[in-house]
Amino acid sequence: MGIVSGLLLLPLAPVRGTAWIADHLLHEARRQLHDPRAVHARLAALNRALDEGAIDEAAFEREEERLLALLERPARATGRRGTTDPLQKGHA
């Protein structure tokens, strides 16, 4: 990047910095979402919630299916662009 282009693009630096931070936060959120230890912990919490009567069988089965799907697709855990991801579909 030359001096002139650097000076011309300087006003965009805060936007580019914010986009960089947002991209890294998204990558970390995807990594944590697909971390097997975290998924196992959520499954354990889900089982406790069912045992305590906090959720019904239908809700348990839906969430269990979603969590098990996360465990079965480790290739998607990398957060690479172009892969299908539950966060992209609004399933957080």
46 and 67 in contact (C-beta within 8 Å)?
yes
Question: Which pLDDT score, from 0 to 100, does residue 25 have?
Answer: 94
Read off the pLDDT of residues 6-63 as tens digits, 9 standing for 90 and up.
Answer: 878 888 888 888 999 999 999 998 888 888 999 999 999 999 999 999 999 999 999 9
Please give the average per-residue pLDDT across 64-88, as a whole number.
65
pLDDT surpassing 90 at residue 87 = no
User: Which sign, positive or negative, has the C-alpha torsion 31, 37, 38, 40?
Assistant: positive
Question: Which pLDDT score, from 0 to 100, does residue 83 have?
Answer: 46
Question: Which pLDDT score, from 0 to 100, does residue 81 have?
Answer: 46
Question: Which pLDDT score, from 0 to 100, does residue 82 have?
Answer: 43
